[in-house]
Structure 1
Amino acid sequence: HEPNERAYHAFYQILAASEEEKAEIWGGLKGTDFNSFHYVGETDTLKIEGKTDGEKYSMTRDALAVVGVKDDRFKTLMRALCTVLQLGNVDFNTDPSDDEKCVVASEEELGKLSDIMGVDLDEVRSAVTTRTITAGREKYKVPLKADAARDSRNAFAKEIYQQIFDWLVRVINDATSADFNYGDAQDVEEFGIIGLLDIFGFESFKVNRYEQLCINYANEKLQQKYTVDIFRSVQEEYEFEGIELGEVAFADNADVLNLVEGKLGIIAVLNEECVRPNGNDSAFVSKVKSLNKESTCLIAERLHRPTEFAISHYAGKVKYDATHFVEKNTDNLPQDLIDCACRSTNELISTELKAAAEAKAAAPSTGRGRKKGGMTVGTKFRSQLTSLMHNLSTTRTRYIRCIKPNPEKVPEKMNLKTSNEQLLCAGVISAVKVTRSAFPNRLMHNTALERFRCLLPPEATLPDVDEAAAADGGTGLRPAVEAMLDDLLKKMEKKDAAGEVEKGYCCGKTRVYFRLGALEHLESERLAALGVLATEIEKIARGFTARSKFLKLKAAAISSQAFARGNLAKIHFLRAREAEITMACWVRCLFSGRELVRLRRKRAATMVQTCIRILLARAMFQKARRASTLIQKIVRGAVQRPKYRQMIKEAEDEARVNSKIAALQKRLAEAEMKWIQADKKRMEAEKKAEGMVPGVPAAAAAGPQAP
């Protein structure tokens, strides 16, 4: 796979669903993401065609509901896919006590697998770590090594996924089949079938493994049919046109198919190596090279490793690395795991794997005591491919080639290199070579007549055209086309070995076929004739262009002259106006100067008069102000003098009263001091009296105090 490719989209869609939906499917999905399962892992691709995985899950759920997969049936399908996911989480380690045994690395993951399958934990553990061997009538269990257990686990997961896929295809076919969807289907003897086959794309990576060999083998098989179908279509076309086909050479890949599926081919040698004890990849490659050394398709180079070989496919050389070819070719799914799946509570897993096991047991023997059910992967693939080719041979096949224009998958961008590689790998180029081998070019009669009639000389005449026959797509134009081409391709006629003249073309009922170089010759002659006519047309066109250009230049010159004259007149007018304005300004300045002198003199006289009037008025004002001030002073003095005398008298009376009050206050203060001193003396006398009369309280001895 390419680096940005993911595992199956269904796994990512389940894990991107909402937590409620995941819990309804299986409780073990709650809180999980891409990193929770080893078969999925982290991815950088978060959107496909503008949709997230969560949105794609809803679309898938709705689409499955259309074909009847809904409710419990849908949950059963999702749980079966969860079983595949959980199988990838069950890993194995070597048993510390015995290197020939293995133990489950995580009991928790094994318990989840037991839960989703609905099988007892011990039965699941036994199925993944041991294998039942049948020897005659006896059966005994053999422990598996860690690597063998992983291989069995992976094979079991692939088998479950394959059965799920096959079941879903049957469901879709039943939902779209006329047998089950029409009421009168029983009255129809046989229905037509429209089948869609999405074929493998040719793969060539840096390292190509067993898967690429199988894919490219299928492509070689389909390319062989594609080439045969193209050749048959060419043959039918020539027969319809009434043209002898002759010998058509095309690339046949039968030698490549013989190298892969022949008796001594790669699949046969690989099957033999799988049966042989201690068979290995290096021995397989060595046998393939020695048994097919005469094959031109097998490439053995000295620089190849012991496990490397190359095949020259129709699309190019591909080098394969045969590492693990023997292991991958062996169908190593133990019966123990199939029995375990048959006991699963998941109806889809148990029913489909049980049916597959029964079909395997009922398969007829293919010789050497081996049953068809025990075939290797390569043999199964070859048988299925042979059956597919047989079914395709009974149908009318239509081919649709899808080309990816650029690796980035963005619109309006074409990468020529990758597109050419895809055309080569799809076999389109080889198909074109087949269709163009005898007559590389072809044209319809009317097209040839329209394109090359101009090459005939003017005096040439052509047979009358049967318009009715030409309109119906018949041979009405054929005589005219033959007469025209006989004249134009006369130089290309040559004689063959029998001495017969071989023309450069062959005219059929509706098309004319050109031999190699004939159409190129006509096209070159037509190009030369059209060149002469083109020269005449160019002469007229150039004359018209030149005249148009001259008239435009003339009009532009007149416009330019008018504009220049206008500018000159404007300049002269502006200069004259500027001079006139200057003179008028000078005259005005002269008169204004005289008027200014007069006004200044008048203003000076006015100022002198004003100053004199101001001085006189100021002197009169000051004299009047002095007089009024004196009058005011005399009047105010006369008014205030009686009031002053009264105030002096009142002040004298107040001073006398204050002196008397001060004398009284002094006498009162002296009396108070005398009383205080007398009181102190009395209290001292009482204290002395108390000390002279013992046992008598001081209060009693002192006697009653004066109030």
Structure 2
Amino acid sequence: MLSPTTLARSSLEEMLESLRLRDNSDRPKDLPPALPSRPPSRARIRSGRWSAQPNFNTDSNSESGGEGQRKENELRVKRNTFWNKKRRKDVNVNSPYNVVAVEGIEGEERMEEKGILEGSDNIGYFIEKKLRVWCRQSNGVWVSGTIHSTSGEESFVSLANGNVVKVSTCHLFPANPEILDGVDDLMHLSYLNEPTVFHNLKYRYSRDMIYSKAGPILIAVNPFKDVQINGKDIVTTYKQKATDKPHVFAIAENAYNEMMNDGVNQSLMISGESGAGKTETAKFAVQYLAALGGGNVGIDCQILQTSCILEAFGNSKTSMNDNSSRFGKFIEIHFTAAGKICGSKIRTFLLEKSRVVQLAAGERSYHIFYQLCAGAPQALRERLNLKMAKEYNYLAQSDCLVINGVDDAQRFLKFMETLDIFQISKGEQDQAFAMLAAVLWLGNISFHAIDYENHVEASNDEALINAARMIGCESHELKEALSARRIQTEEGNIVEKFTMSQAIDTRDALAKFIYASLFDWLVEQINNLLEVGKQHTGWSISILDIYGFESFKKNSFEQFCINYANERLQQHFNRHVFKLEQEEYELDGIDGVKVDFADNQECLDLFEKKPIGLLSLLDEDLHSPDANDATLANKLKQNLNGMACFKGDKGRVFGVRHFAGEVLYNTNDFLKKNQDSLNPELIELLSSCNGQLPQLFAIKMLNQTLEPATSLDSPNQSVSAKFKGKLFKLMQQLEKTKPHFICCIKPNRKQLPGMYEEDLVSQQLRCSGVLEAVRMSRSGYPTRMTHQEFADRYGFLLLETNESPDPLSISVAVLKQFNILPGMYQIGYTKLYLRIGLIGVLEDRRKQVLQTGKYTDEANKGSAFASQLHDGQLTAIIGLQSAIRGCLVRKHFSNPHKLITLRSKQKLVRENSEANDIPNEQSSAMAELQRRVVDAEASLGQKQQENATLQEQLQQYEAKMKKMEEQLQQSEAKMKKTEEQLQQSEAKMKKTEEMLRKQTAPLQASLAAAKKSEVSATAEVGGRENGVSSLVKEFEQQKQSFEDDINKTTQPASNMNSYEELRKLKRRFRAWKKDYKVRLKETTAIVRKHRHQDSDKTRKKWWPNRGKVLQNCGKSPS
């Protein structure tokens, strides 16, 4: 029986083992390494001499001055012959920068003898040769200088300004030669450490070159000004591949090409702290993709215009950014099989609703409020009764109402134009603006005390009246909803009046709900217009623009959720850049590629661990009646103090050690913001409003109450639970795409152009993992292909036919033929792993061979044609010579033969002429064929264009028909709903009529009794009786009027306003009934008073005659 080890060896490995044994005796040193036996790998392992500096764990170089790295540099340098010659001419054998040139002249042995190694641990050589180094000053600023002298563990560095500073030797780092200043890819730096990366980015930033490459990552430094790098001419340059300079356009181009070639969905992950320029970078990416996949339906232009609406409603000014996104945005752009955009979809996350009602000093609410107040046309201002922004409490609570250099009025005009582009009707626009005005007026509603128990009610002032009018309800209805709530008990409903804090919270909750619902409605309208068409192939490119990491002086629930999301995205980055890379190497038998990076799994466990995690404990306290913000802070500290990423602090403060630094959170309002509920009275109020949008918002909320408790849309779910669920869905979708990472850097805190703060940039570089990613790319093998793919693509380059059909043998033979050094690639069990740049060399050679083969084929065809032409002409010439000789001979014999001779000459001339015309006839035939081909291609192109136009028109007609059918269905549904409402209203009115009759019956009886008792009254009472009679008469008239109106309204209606008329009639009846009751009470009181007076008069008349009466009864008067 075979052992498991024997079974584990594949036939391919056995074949390679036999080849290795056969060639082991005379194998040259430069042969590629063979496939290792499983499980240990014999791949070339990086030298252990390269160790990082003890005080900076990210400043390591690629492998030592080994043969593979030197040849990689040599291949890159040889692409420019002039540059290669210049380097060899000016080489200094003692310089550590000229590793390639030194190796080319004197070999690797001389390098090792001199100690010229490419790692960062050769600082001793720099000290010995007094070369340029980097050192950090006491203020944290990196400066360059040359070694002046050394003393023990300390070195004295001479700076450019002439000063000499003392620095610890362990804090010195090698500097790159000045010729490498400003390279566009950090991988090209000879020495990779924090100061060299920092200096290179600063050098490029000072010259408005804001984009740099760091291996697989694009670094974008925010210039805080327009640097003219996103115009149409720049777009055309990258579309035509006329440049390979780093740019967000290049990243988008690469993603588009990979999607079209491989059929794999792509994603652009844009990260960075607030103010780093993520939103603008995302807009540039959308701009380029729209240019690549622009169709004829204008959807590409509409996608570009979405940012105007989303930024107006979702962005605001913060202390860190004048245009900070206060929501997360995930844009999916879908493409057809031909690469044209066919639709898009936008998803949003965690809008910061608290910013609507609460602002920090120096910050603004959402841009749209200030734009509306500054730029609304006069007619709209009068309709909404708008005032200036400073007159609204929600906006005036901050001392910041304008942004320098921003014209809010002009932006509002552009905003209205964008609404027209998205086909939002004028009526819908007016309703949306009314909702915004309602939010502003809600903030101005005040409350006053009504008793000694601190109960309050809303004041009947301008704010209440305007807010109610904007929402579409009566002012007293809004007043009741903001002042009290109904509590259902076993005995029935109890009305509980609000305290001042409860009333303010209710008012603010209504304002936040209206704004958030309006934001969601606008996003829904955009998605409806950008809906993916039928030509969708499933291919898409997604762009993630989510709020950056935030750390303020006071951090609340919003920063808690934002930073949690950034932790998740950072893990996604680590997984794809580091973890998956190393796992693939290990699974395929590739060793020696290992890069340490900061894993943030512990921090994620702190947030997500169950049942003891930040999110779990937060939700647990949400359902506890005795919990408050103070008890929450204590509970977190008691349960989480043992975790490495958690830090307990005084009072209600706790800290979390994030990947980007430690942040202190204050639990004030944590529970309230995490619940974010709305009273049923407010939902009922919105559902009864006249406006379409408030009813729509209420219906959506009511539908959510029907969802299961575990559903993310259920109102029973907390805000943090909903956000976590949406974040997990987002990450699952991102895992199905190939990511492209863009790291945005904020150069200074003041948001000024030209300013570069070293400590801020360094902190962002450390946290983003840029240096580790560059090290991984330099030491790893970014290009990988299966053995079969490599053999199929490059196998034809072999000069000699390979006897073995095995794809690995063919691949190894190709690498041998082109003298690829062993350090430039590794062979895995299933794939070939190539160093960066090697695939470009092979592709260039492949193109050259294909191009040469094309020219050779054309030359062979031309040679055959010329040979045929030459043979024809030679035959004609020989024939002509023969005829002439014959003619001359026959001329000597006799004249009778002249005619025959002449005919012979003519025949020969004709033959010769025909022979000479052969090339012309062939040329004309070729020209005719080419002309026919061109005509056929032109005709085919025209037919295809006509076909495309007809298909497009057909699609438009189908879309119109579909839209008309939907509108018809909606109209039928509305008619049916209206009929049901009319029937319900008729039943309600009948019920109301019956109730009215029952209520008026006792009133009629009372009036009749009063009328009967006053028959013998005095003239004064007779006057009052006239008042009672008039009251009775009015009652009879109003009764008859209401009965007529009810009969008229409940008849089958021919229009859609019957329901509204019933509502108006109902309100008019309630008002009359209330007034009539008051007057009836007054009249009843007068009648009763008069009865009492009459009884007193009767008693007075009776009292003097009481003796006679008693005597008649047989009693004494006493």
Please give the range of the TM-score, normalised by the shorter of the 2 chains.
0.5 to 0.7
Residue pairs, 1:35-54, within 5 angstroms: 35-41=390-396, 44=400, 46-47=402-403, 50-54=405-409
2:416 to 61, 84, 101: 61
2:700 to 352, 355, 362: 355
| Matched residue, 1:433 | 772
> 1:467–1:476: 8 Å Cα contact kept in structure 2?
no
| Matched residue, 1:27 | 384
Query: Do the aligned partners of residues 47 and 207 (structure 1) sit closer, same or farther apart at CA in structure 2, a change above 3 Å counting?
Result: closer
Deviation at 1:483, TM superposition (A): 7.1
Distance across 1 between alignment mates of 2:433 and 2:816: 65
2:480 maps to 1:123: no
> 2:660–2:764: 8 Å Cα contact kept in structure 1?
no
Deviation at 1:106, TM superposition (A): 5.5
> 1:17–1:54: 8 Å Cα contact kept in structure 2?
yes
2:737 maps to 1:392: no
1:316-344 Cα distance to aligned partner (Å, 9 max, x none): 11111112222322333211112112222
2:679 to 326, 334, 347: 334
> 1:100–1:143: 8 Å Cα contact kept in structure 2?
no
> 2:686–2:695: 8 Å Cα contact kept in structure 1?
yes
Give the secondary structure class of the aligned counterpart of 1:59.
helix
| Matched residue, 1:620 | none
Distance across 1 between alignment mates of 2:623 and 2:713: 14
> 1:331–1:375: 8 Å Cα contact kept in structure 2?
no
| Matched residue, 1:600 | none
Distance across 1 between alignment mates of 2:679 and 2:817: 71
Distance across 2 between alignment mates of 1:335 and 1:322: 27
2:507 maps to 1:153: yes
Query: Do the aligned partners of residues 293 and 239 (structure 1) sit closer, same or farther apart at CA in structure 2, a change above 3 Å counting?
Result: closer
Query: Do the aligned partners of residues 158 and 196 (structure 1) sit closer, same or farther apart at CA in structure 2, a change above 3 Å counting?
Result: farther
| Matched residue, 1:260 | 607
| Matched residue, 1:540 | none
Distance across 1 between alignment mates of 2:559 and 2:690: 36
2:623 maps to 1:275: yes
> 2:485–2:681: 8 Å Cα contact kept in structure 1?
yes
**Percentage of matched positions with identical amino acids:** 28
| Matched residue, 1:482 | 821
Q: Which amino acid aligns with 2:598?
A: A
2:582 maps to 1:225: no
Q: Which amino acid aligns with 1:307?
A: R
1:234 to 553, 558, 581: 581
Give the alignment's Cα RMSD to 1 decimal.
3.9
Deviation at 1:69, TM superposition (A): 1.9
> 2:687–2:698: 8 Å Cα contact kept in structure 1?
yes
Deviation at 1:294, TM superposition (A): 2.4
1:423-482 Cα distance to aligned partner (Å, 9 max, x none): 45xx522x54256359657899xxxxxxxxxxxxxxxxxxxxx99689xx9965897453
Query: Do the aligned partners of residues 420 and 55 (structure 1) sit closer, same or farther apart at CA in structure 2, a change above 3 Å counting?
Result: farther
> 1:231–1:435: 8 Å Cα contact kept in structure 2?
no
Give the secondary structure class of the aligned counterpart of 1:436.
helix
Query: Do the aligned partners of residues 133 and 422 (structure 1) sit closer, same or farther apart at CA in structure 2, a change above 3 Å counting?
Result: farther
Query: Do the aligned partners of residues 420 and 89 (structure 1) sit closer, same or farther apart at CA in structure 2, a change above 3 Å counting?
Result: farther
Give the secondary structure class of the aligned counterpart of 2:743.
coil
Give the secondary structure class of the aligned counterpart of 1:402.
strand
Distance across 2 between alignment mates of 1:282 and 1:232: 40
Deviation at 1:379, TM superposition (A): 2.1
- Segments of 5+ residues of structure 1 without an aligned counterpart are 180-184, 445-465, 487-501, 514-707
Query: Do the aligned partners of residues 69 and 416 (structure 1) sit closer, same or farther apart at CA in structure 2, a change above 3 Å counting?
Result: farther
Q: Which amino acid aligns with 1:132?
A: R
Deviation at 1:349, TM superposition (A): 2.5
Query: Do the aligned partners of residues 363 and 237 (structure 1) sit closer, same or farther apart at CA in structure 2, a change above 3 Å counting?
Result: same
Query: Do the aligned partners of residues 245 and 153 (structure 1) sit closer, same or farther apart at CA in structure 2, a change above 3 Å counting?
Result: farther
Q: Which amino acid aligns with 1:207?
A: K
Structure with more of its chain in helix, by fraction = 1
Give the secondary structure class of the aligned counterpart of 2:657.
strand
Deviation at 1:391, TM superposition (A): 3.0
Task: Report the more deviating stretch, 244-253 or 164-173.
Answer: 244-253
2:369 maps to 1:11: yes
| Matched residue, 1:196 | 543
| Matched residue, 1:141 | 495
2:637 maps to 1:289: yes
> 2:389–2:401: 8 Å Cα contact kept in structure 1?
no
| Matched residue, 1:112 | 466
Number of residue pairs aligned between Structure 1 and Structure 2: 453
> 1:248–1:438: 8 Å Cα contact kept in structure 2?
no
Query: Do the aligned partners of residues 485 and 190 (structure 1) sit closer, same or farther apart at CA in structure 2, a change above 3 Å counting?
Result: closer
Query: Do the aligned partners of residues 164 and 394 (structure 1) sit closer, same or farther apart at CA in structure 2, a change above 3 Å counting?
Result: farther
1:560-608 Cα distance to aligned partner (Å, 9 max, x none): xxxxxxxxxxxxxxxxxxxxxxxxxxxxxxxxxxxxxxxxxxxxxxxxx
Deviation at 1:134, TM superposition (A): 3.2
| Matched residue, 1:695 | none
2:446 maps to 1:91: yes
Deviation at 1:307, TM superposition (A): 0.8
Distance across 1 between alignment mates of 2:708 and 2:491: 21
> 1:111–1:121: 8 Å Cα contact kept in structure 2?
yes
Query: Do the aligned partners of residues 96 and 123 (structure 1) sit closer, same or farther apart at CA in structure 2, a change above 3 Å counting?
Result: closer
Deviation at 1:351, TM superposition (A): 0.6
Deviation at 1:111, TM superposition (A): 0.8
2:651 maps to 1:315: no
> 2:560–2:665: 8 Å Cα contact kept in structure 1?
yes
Deviation at 1:243, TM superposition (A): 4.2
Deviation at 1:244, TM superposition (A): 4.1
> 1:468–1:476: 8 Å Cα contact kept in structure 2?
no
2:704 maps to 1:364: no
Give the secondary structure class of the aligned counterpart of 1:374.
coil
Residue pairs, 1:569-584, within 5 angstroms: none
Q: Which TM-score applies when normalising by structure 2?
A: 0.37
Distance across 1 between alignment mates of 2:773 and 2:706: 46
> 2:484–2:498: 8 Å Cα contact kept in structure 1?
yes
Give the secondary structure class of the aligned counterpart of 2:689.
coil
Give the secondary structure class of the aligned counterpart of 2:453.
strand
1:494-518 Cα distance to aligned partner (Å, 9 max, x none): xxxxxxxx9xxxx9754169xxxxx
| Matched residue, 2:553 | 206
Distance across 2 between alignment mates of 1:134 and 1:229: 54
- Segments of 5+ residues of structure 2 without an aligned counterpart are 1-317, 320-360, 784-794, 800-810, 838-1118
Q: Which amino acid aligns with 1:398?
A: H
Distance across 2 between alignment mates of 1:482 and 1:193: 39
Give the secondary structure class of the aligned counterpart of 1:411.
coil
Distance across 1 between alignment mates of 2:418 and 2:817: 55
2:520 maps to 1:176: no
Distance across 1 between alignment mates of 2:604 and 2:782: 37
Distance across 2 between alignment mates of 1:435 and 1:36: 54
Distance across 1 between alignment mates of 2:734 and 2:573: 11
1:375 to 697, 717, 735: 717
Larger Rg: 1
Query: Do the aligned partners of residues 482 and 204 (structure 1) sit closer, same or farther apart at CA in structure 2, a change above 3 Å counting?
Result: same
Deviation at 1:365, TM superposition (A): 3.0
Query: Do the aligned partners of residues 242 and 82 (structure 1) sit closer, same or farther apart at CA in structure 2, a change above 3 Å counting?
Result: farther
Distance across 1 between alignment mates of 2:385 and 2:652: 43
Distance across 1 between alignment mates of 2:409 and 2:798: 62
> 1:152–1:332: 8 Å Cα contact kept in structure 2?
no
Query: Do the aligned partners of residues 197 and 149 (structure 1) sit closer, same or farther apart at CA in structure 2, a change above 3 Å counting?
Result: farther
Query: Do the aligned partners of residues 389 and 159 (structure 1) sit closer, same or farther apart at CA in structure 2, a change above 3 Å counting?
Result: farther
Q: Which amino acid aligns with 1:202?
A: F
| Matched residue, 2:455 | 101
Distance across 2 between alignment mates of 1:254 and 1:149: 43
> 2:824–2:835: 8 Å Cα contact kept in structure 1?
no
Which structure would you say has the larger RCO, counting Cα contacts within 8 Å and 6 or more residues apart? 2
> 1:403–1:422: 8 Å Cα contact kept in structure 2?
yes
Residue pairs, 1:252-651, within 5 angstroms: 252-262=599-609, 263-300=611-648, 304-359=649-704, 361-366=705-710, 372-424=714-766, 427-429=767-769, 432-433=771-772, 436=775, 440=779, 476=815, 480=819, 482=821, 510-511=834-835
